[in-house]
Structure formats: C-alpha cells, structure tokens
Structure 1
Amino acid sequence: MACMKLGSKSDAFQRRGQAWFCTTGLPSDVVVEVEDMSFHLHKFPLLSRSGLMERLIADASKGEDSCVIGLPKIPGGAKMFELVAKFCYGVKLELTASNVVCLRCAAEHLEMTEEYGEGNLISQTEVFLNQVVLQNWNDSLRALQTCSDVLSCAEDLDIPKRCIDSLAANACTNPTLFGWPVRDHRAPLQSPGGSVLWNGISTGARSKNLSSDWWFEDASTLSLSLYKRLISAMETRGMKPETIAGSLSFYAKKYLPGLNRRHGASEGSGHLAPGSGALLSVEEQKILLEEIDHLLPVQKGFVSTKFLAGLLRTAKILRVNPSCISNLEMRIGMQLDQATLEDLLMPCFSYSMETLYDVDCVQRILEHFLAMDQVDGGETPGSVDGGQLMGSPSLVPITMVAKLIDGYLAEVAPDVNLKLPKFQSLAGGVPEYARPLDDGLYRAIDIYLQAHPWFAESDREQLCRLMDCQKLSLEACTHAAQNERLPLRIIIQVLFFEQLQLRTSIAGCFLVSDNLDGSRQLRSGLLGANDGGWATSTARENQVLKVGMDNMKMRVSELEKECSNMRQEIQKLGKAKESSLAKKLGLRLKSQMCSTHEDSASKPSSVHSHSHSHVKFEKTKDRHGREKKT
C-alpha cells in the first residue's frame, strides 16, 4: 500500500488512559475533548493551522490562560484528531489509502486551508489522493471502503465518485491495449515484455493473462450502496453485460446464504469462490436480492438460468416483493430452453402446502417462454417459403422445453396431492408440434396413474387424451399395450398404431431389399466376375435384412393374436350383458307367448283368414314387383 510521510519531528505524544499528552516541556493550555478522549495540547500549534480551532479557542478563552473546547462532530472521531494534532505539531505521520479520506474530511471540517499555513493538511491530502491513491486499483478500493465511515462529508468533497471512476476505468481497461497489463495485487509485477520481475530483474517466466473476473472479489467487499454505483459506472464505460452479470452473481452468493445451499459457489469460467460474507438480516437480504434483480442485464443469455432459479428460490423463501418474483419468473421463461430439471424443482413455500413442488410457478414460467417464442416467430413452425421450412430454428428450443416439461411432469407425478387439472394444464401447455415423440409424456402419465389408482375410467381416458398414440415409439407402444393402468380404449388404439408402424417398417424393408437386389444385379453386370468381395458383402446385408423382416413378421402375428383375443373378450362381455338382460325379461316373454298361443287356439278361423289374407298380400306384391306368379 502506497504511503506519504508528513512532518519531521519525533513523536512527543503519550497516552494515559483516556487522555493524550504532548510532552514538549510546556504546560498544556487547552484541552480538546473528542468523543470519550481528551487531548491536553497547546493553543498556538492548533490555531495556526485551523480556522475552526482559532475561533473556538478565542470564544472559550475569554482572557483566561487555559480553556476546554469540544469537537463532537469531527469526521473520524478521536483517532483522526490524533493525526491532525500530530500534523499541527510537525510530528512524523504517514498518509495511506486507509486514512486519507477521513483525514481529508477532518481537515475540511477544521478549515485547514492554505490561509493558515503553506502545505496545510487539505492540500497535502488532496495531492496524495489524486496523484497516488486514485492511480492504483488497490488504493482506490481501500479509499472507497473507508468512505462509508464519513460518507456525508466525503460526498460533499466528491471523493466516492472519484474513487468509483478510477476503479471503473481500471476494470474496463483492456490489459493488452498498451502492452502493459493492469496491475493486479494477486499477480507479480511484470515487465513491458510480459515476464515476471523479481527485485526489478526479469526472471523469464511468463505471467498468466488476467481473466475478466479478476476484480469480482475486491468489488464484493463494498457496501451495497457503493457497489451499485460502481456497477453503474462500469456499465456507462461499456463493460460487457456478461461480466457485469458475473460480478452480480458473485456478490449475491457472498451475502445470500440461500443461493449456496443447492448449487456450488463457483459458476462460470474462472470465477472465484466467494468467501463468507457478513451476516445480513432477513430484511437486508430482501433488499439485496431486489437490488440484484434490478441491476441484472435484461438481455437473454447473459445470466445463467441456474443462478436465476437460485434467486427465485431464495426470493420465495424471503418472501420478497411479488413484482420481483414475477420479474425473475419472466427472466427464466425467456431462456427456459437453457434450464435443467433441477432448476425447475422449486419447493412449494405457500402456507397451504398443497403440493411438494411449486407447479403453478413452472406453469407461469412456461407461459412466459411460449409468449416469447411466438414473438420470435415460433407460432408458425410449418410455414414454407421457397421450398424451405421457415421457423425451423425456433423448433430447437421449444423441443428442448417440451422434453424438460415432460421430465418435470414425471418428477412431480408421484405427488398424491397433485390435482388432475394442474397436471393436465401443464402437460397441455406445450404445443403438439413441440413433441416429435410422446414417449416422455406417456412416462409421466403412467407414473401419475400409478400414484393415483383411485381415478375413474373417465378420468383416465381424459388424462390419456393428452398424448398422441401415433407419436409413440415402438418400445413405448409395446409397453403401453401391456399396461393395465391404461383404459381399454387407449390400449386398442396403441395396438392399432403399433401394427401400422410395423407394417410400414416391413414395407420399407421390402422396398430396400428390392432396391438392393436390383443394385446388386446391375453392379454384377457392370463389374463382372472379378468383384466377388462386393457380392459377398451384399449377400450378407440381404441376409441380415431377411432376418430382421422375419422377426418383424413374427411380432405382427403376435400383435394380431393379441387384438383377436381382446376382441373375443369384448364380445364375451357383451354376450354376458345380453344374457343377464334376457333372464330378467324371461318370465314376461314367456307369459306373452303363452297368452298368444291360447288366443290362436280359441280363434282358428280368424287365424286362417288372417293367414289367407297374408298370402294374398304376398301374391299381389309379387305381381307388382316381379310381374310373375310364384
């Protein structure tokens, strides 16, 4: 740390308890009281350097030889007045980055201008501050840290702004711009050629280039108010948004313990693990989190989704402003395709505790993503222009999101408190075109049905309508065909589409086989008998294809048998229902038949006439219809 020596006399001050004495051989004629400390000094050295002390001594003396004065508002308190007193007596002292700000403020308060002596304390501290401290990163940082102790006075003197501008300029400077790297207190001194220096002599060793995060740890030592101003100054000077985001992430992880419970402290390339920061109260943590959210870059991709998810989880624990939570959800939704399943598994912190995980939060995040995807042109994934598929780049992120949501549904499905409408709303929120296959959705539905065995058949069918049986893979179809938890209607659909896939695959194999045979004959005619190796390899390929087709034929026959058995079972169920109905109506039918028989026996003539008329009706009909007698 750089320093500047003032004065030349030896130290003549001694401390006795809560009092300082100047041992110059002359009796003290003035006592200055600062806080709980008293200084027994002499009038002339003080009034000859300070305008304020001159007026106070004149008012307190009133013709007497000794007096007592008080300085309750001097910046820096008793410690700084001790240095001021030594300066007035010409005693040796050192100006450093740690005391120059407080001394500058104390000198301003005491009016120690050039009017009361050349090279007074104000001018000395200003020279050291401008020519030494503000030219060095470490000293500027240390001076800015001490501004918190005398902030109001330092602000009047514009010291924090000068320190912040110096730090921002150093952080934004390209180390390779002038061929001389920015001085880092953790790195050894280097020559213009880049080699490490030892006692001014080049060692030949090359120092590693500074990464963009070399200042993160130093900046995290600042108070929140000063840190915010530093970040704003860096943004004004053109600092990259991703670097700003990295510093904010470092600062948040240092002072928000909730961010380090599930995720590692270090994140990104070269980021340093933050040390244990000062313990903040819950209210201070809430203020810090809201400020971090306000300072984060709004552009997509500059802040990692994992960090945003950690902020959102911590915000829910601290119960911060709802607008902050909504803003974090929107940020995550903008880049949901970059999230992982762990990022979305946020515990439910509501008082009702209906579900283990906050499904409603994920639903809102998905809605934000879909809204952004529509703005980017993802609402027309199948539009064609000039023979090319338009909007295809947007299919990549939304397909990744569909896979992520299916995985999330499978993770939350075992929760018995998860209501069917919530599950359907989240699963149905993903557009149909976003899922090339519905295997992941089928897995989630199967787990949900297993955890909710009391669902009625209608609820099961309603749930299974979320997936498209035509978009299930052959393996998923095989599993679904044997799944007793699925409704019977869905199983029949699965079997139908499975057979359709198999037949399509077999037809494709036959087509490939025919093409291979034709190609083999053509090549054999062109190449002649000299190319026996190619013929052997083609024969092997045909044999492999034949085995595969035989296996597929066997599978098709097995599936047809299963369908036939299922149809027979359905018919048996129908016949059983008909037989039970017939038993209930048997007596009534029998009584009606008996009564009809008795009526026919008692009135044979009427029956005969009726049958005769019926015959005549048939003959008439035959004449008009066929125009011939039967």
Structure 2
Amino acid sequence: MEAYCDLEVDVNGEEIFIVDTKIIAQYSGKIAKLFGKSNSTTGKLKVIFHDFPGGAEGFEVMLRYCYNNGTTDIRPPNLILAHCAAQFMEMKESVSGGVNLLERTEKSMREMSYWTWPDLLIALKQCQNLVLIKDSYAVLEKCLDSLVARLVFPIEASPCLSSSSPDSSGFRFSCDSKSTESIKTNSSRSTWWFEDLLFLSPMLVEMLVKSMLSRKFDHVVISRFLLFYHKAKFSTATTDEKRKIIEMVIDVHFTMDHSSVSFKTLFGILRITWGLNISKCSRNKLENMIGAQLDQATLDNLLVPSPYGISYLYDVNLVLRFLKAFLNRRTCLATPIRMRKVASLIDLYIAEIAPDPCLKPSKFLALATALPDSARDSYDELYHAMDMYLEVHSGLSEEERLKICCGINYKKLSAEARLHLSHNKKFPSKSAVEALIFKQSKLKDILHVTPSTTSSTGSPCSSSDAREGGRKDKTSEQVVLYAGNFDTSADNEKLRAHLQGMQWRVIELEKVCRKMQTQMTKMAKSKASGCSYARSLPKLCS
C-alpha cells in the first residue's frame, strides 16, 4: 500500500498528507486535472494548498470519503467541512458510479430544519471558520436561516447548552439542560439563546440580525441581544475588536425601529465611542438616533466636554448636530409637545454655556435660532442666557450684538423681562427701543387708549393729541427700522440731525412709558412682592 502513496499534499502549512494519486483522482476533479495523466515513477509528486477550507480537518474528511469507496458518515458536526472540501476539490462520481460527496452534503443540508439546537450551533461555528472561503456564504445563510427559524418558534427550541451567563448583562436566564419545559414557561424564554451565540463574530451577528428582521423578529429582543453581546465581549476584546463590535451594534440598530432602544442606552454607547476611532458613518448614525430622541435628554446629557483641540468648554457642535437630527426626521415625529420639551432643554443648555468666554457669537446664535419660533411659548430663559452672554462678551461689536439679539421674539417676553430689557445697557439700542414700543402698545391695549377715548390721566384725547400719538408711533417704528443703520459721516449731516431728533423722541417715549408703569404695576401686584428677575447661576458661574 505504501508504494502507491505517491502524492505529498501540504494543507495550509498545518499538516502533510501522503496519499495515492489514483484513488484521489477518481473522486476529485482538481487532482485529476493536476496529476491524472502523470506517469512519474522517479519520485513523489507534491501539491501545496494554501486556502483549503477547514484546513487539515476538512482534508481528512474528504480523504475518508475517497478511501472508503465513495461512502462516509455525513453528520451535522462534519457536514459543513465535507461540503466545503467537496466544492474545493471538485468532487465527482467515482468510476463505479453513485452519489458524489457534494451532492450528498447538499441533500443533508436540505434537512437542516430537523437538526437539534446543539447541531445547529456546531454547524454555525464551522461556518464562521470558513466564512472567507469562496461559495461558503450560501451555506452560512442556510445555517443562519435554520437557526432563526428555530428562534421564531421558541417552544420547539432546545435548551441552551451553557449553564451561566455574564452578570454584566443585566439579564437572567433559565437554561436547564434537563428539560425544555423550563424555557417554555419562564418569563425570560425569549432571551435564553443569548449566551449560546456569543461565539459569533460581529460580521455573523449582523448577518443573523438581518435574517431575524426579514422574519419580523421582535426588535426589542434583538436590541437586548446586541447589548448583551456588546457587554459580554467588550471586557476581553482588543481595541480593534471593540471598534468593530461597537460599529456593528450601531449599524444594526440604525436599520431597526429606533424606539427599540432608549435614549439613555444610545448615549451610553456614545460615551464608549469617545475612546474608539469608529468610522464617521457609524458616528453619524448614532448621533442621528440620539437626536431623534432628544426630548428624552437631560441637561447633564448635553454637557459633553469639547474634543481635544477645541477651545469651547462644551461640545456645542455635537448639540447642534443633535438638533439637526431632531428637526430633520423623515417621519415628522417632532410634535408640538416634543418641540417644547427640546426648546426648554436647549434654553437651559444655552444658559449653561453662555459664560464660556471662548464661545463664538456664531455658535451662540446658531443654538438660539436652531428651533422654530413655535417651539417656545416664552423667550424669557433665552433672554436671560443672552443677557449673561453679552455681559461676559463685553467686547462684541454693535453688529455682533444686533445679530445675537435677532434670536429673540420680543412679543413672547414677559412684562417683567421687557421691563428689564428696557433698562439693559448691554443690549443694543434697537432691541431696547423695540421692547419699549411693544410695551407701550401692550399698555395702550390694556388701558383702551385710542384717539377717540380717554387718556391715562382721565382727560379726553384731543384730535391734536391723537395726531401727535400717531406721529410718535410712526417715528418709533422708524427708529426700530433704521437704528444702527445710518451713515453718520461728515457728508451726511442732514441724516445726523434727523437721527438726533429721533433719539430725542425716543427719550420722550421712555418718559411716557414710565408714567404708564403705575398701571402695569397694579395689574402685576399679586406677584410683584415676591417676584424678581434674578435667576440661578449656571454651573460655570457657581
């Protein structure tokens, strides 16, 4: 027998087999092509395989088939190895006829739905080792489909083989190997399989979830499995492995119903990514998912320190991206209630970052104007933050101050805030005048002051008074329109004189407002004694 062993086969550098060329060539098309016509008697032939599927173990399965006259015991533990080896060696029918190895393995795989749970796990482990082999994906998909089909109907599933689960998972399992009834009746039966699949690579987990989603598997259960997998694998993984795991968890969650995972969990994942160099695509997906649930956030969630190299104390750009994701939801889930929650949160956030001396006006204004006007019923908190920002950034130009003040809807300021604004020298004149004009018009509405009714002093308004009031209103509107926009150079003396006249009228207007404050005080008497405009200082100032 030894004289016929004329072929030396080096399998992936793992092991060397000495075989009979004629016997192998009867079943292997690959060997027949290479050595079928060789008549060499001077020495042994040699072939080196660098990518044999399953390595030495897979080659040995194929040899048993050849040396047993085309018969071998094909069982789940060796089915995948035999199938991939048969494909690689181009197995064919022997001279005596019969079913070749490739056909036999394909027939066995069609019966995969009848396998036990342990057999499916063994086959899946083999598939994972062969995942890079050509044509192995078809086998892997069949194995995953069979496994998912078993999970869809948990009553038919076998109990898990393991006896314990990581404490860090936060889940408890019943995995009694003596009885399947414990799984059927246990409240956590939908998660009993979590630990059994921890051996899967991130790539196979992603394929598994895709198969689950195609079968309408519960998204909440899938999310729990992904988080369980992440926690169990992270403790022993390398930095590169951690990056792959977290990217897979993010990418898979992005394809699922976003409500299946909470804001708190997503933000926890975000904190983990700060120490890992994950891809920009995965980071964008995570930020979009967080932004979609921004109404569930707290102020502490948003107070994220700036990345290295950024002068801002807090990561303002991150919050702006959250806001963009919240407002750009394709499903338009930003209801008025959710919008108001986010507006209130952002106002608190702006108040916290306002004392930051490095915060640029463009970033402050971007935050202040990110949400639509309808999101806020009151602009008092934003005004308070703006007042603090202008106090810290006293060196801003008039133009920069005007731009910042454009973020306030003065009609939505309370009477208390408007009064404070009317005496606030940190704000540009345009804003103060606009607030005064609105306050005056509001008081006139309250006191029913019109050209045909009585004045605040009780005397009838004469036609001349009415005309004068109309002129004052018109002049005031001009002040709001033109304040800060005049060219007061030497060649514009007429405009300079006109501006001075308008400023004088503004002074008159302030006198009128002070006279009418008595009426407003009476209306606010119930809360005047215990109310002040003082606000608690942000963390930066405490």
Q: Which category of TM-score, normalised to the shorter sequence, fits these structures?
A: 0.5 to 0.7
Cα deviation, residue 159, structure 1: 1.0
Distance 2:106 2:233 in 1: 34
Q: Give the corresponding residue for 1:358.
A: 315
User: Residues 50 and 116 of structure 1 are in contact (CA less than 8 Å); yes or no, is this contact kept in structure 2?
Assistant: no
Task: Indicate the SS of the match to 2:259.
Answer: coil
Q: Give the corresponding residue for 2:5.
A: 29
User: Residues 28 and 40 of structure 1 are in contact (CA less than 8 Å); yes or no, is this contact kept in structure 2?
Assistant: no
Distance 1:201 1:318 in 2: 44
User: Residues 286 and 320 of structure 1 are in contact (CA less than 8 Å); yes or no, is this contact kept in structure 2?
Assistant: no
Q: Give the corresponding residue for 1:545.
A: none
Q: Give the corresponding residue for 1:81.
A: 59
Q: Give the corresponding residue for 1:408.
A: 349
Q: Give the corresponding residue for 1:70.
A: 47
Distance 2:367 2:4 in 1: 84
Cα deviation, residue 104, structure 1: 2.1
Q: Give the corresponding residue for 2:160.
A: 184
Distance 1:90 1:502 in 2: 106
Equivalent pairs, count: 437
Determine which of 38, 44, 51 is the counterpart of 2:16.
38
Counting only pairs closer than 5 Å after superposition, residues 21-420 of structure 1 correspond to structure 2 as: 29-35=5-11, 36=13, 37-41=15-19, 46=24, 58-62=36-40, 67-72=44-49, 74-86=52-64, 88=66, 99-113=78-92, 115=94, 121-122=101-102, 125-126=105-106, 129-131=109-111, 135-151=115-131, 155=135, 158-171=138-151, 173-175=152-154, 180=156, 183-186=159-162, 208-210=186-188, 212-215=190-193, 221-246=199-224, 254=230, 273-276=232-235, 278-279=237-238, 281=240, 285=243, 289=247, 292-293=250-251, 296-297=254-255, 301-306=259-264, 314=273, 318=277, 320-321=279-280, 329-349=287-307, 353-370=310-327, 372=329, 394-420=335-361
Distance 1:152 1:72 in 2: 15
Cα deviation, residue 403, structure 1: 1.4
Q: Give the corresponding residue for 1:542.
A: none
Sequence identity (%) = 29
Residue deviations 1:161-208, cap 9 Å, x none?
A: 21122123223x143xxx5556434479xxxxxx99775798x99852
TM-score by length of 2: 0.60
Distance 1:468 1:96 in 2: 79
Cα deviation, residue 130, structure 1: 4.7
Residue deviations 1:79-121, cap 9 Å, x none?
A: 3323444555569998775643223222343455553676875
Cα deviation, residue 318, structure 1: 3.7
Cα deviation, residue 345, structure 1: 3.8
Residue deviations 1:504-560, cap 9 Å, x none?
A: 4657xxxxxxxxxxxxxxxxxxxxxxxxxxxxxxxxxxxxxxxxxxxx68x39x99x
Amino acid at match of 2:238: L
- Coordinate RMSD, CA, aligned: 5.5
Gaps of 5+ in 2: 165-173, 440-512, 533-542
Amino acid at match of 2:348: G
Which protein is richer in strand relative to its size?
A: 1
Cα deviation, residue 241, structure 1: 4.2
Q: State the structure with bigger RCO (CA 8 A, min sep 6), 1 or 2.
A: 2
Amino acid at match of 2:313: L
Counting only pairs closer than 5 Å after superposition, residues 437-452 of structure 1 correspond to structure 2 as: 437-438=378-379, 440-441=381-382, 444-445=385-386, 447-449=388-390, 451-452=392-393
Amino acid at match of 1:161: E
Cα deviation, residue 400, structure 1: 0.6
Task: Indicate the SS of the match to 1:115.
Answer: coil
Residue deviations 1:26-72, cap 9 Å, x none?
A: 666334221443334556765666565567665444467x7434252
Residue deviations 1:366-414, cap 9 Å, x none?
A: 24434559956x7xxxxxxxxxxxxxxx321011101110122133223
Task: Indicate the SS of the match to 2:135.
Answer: helix
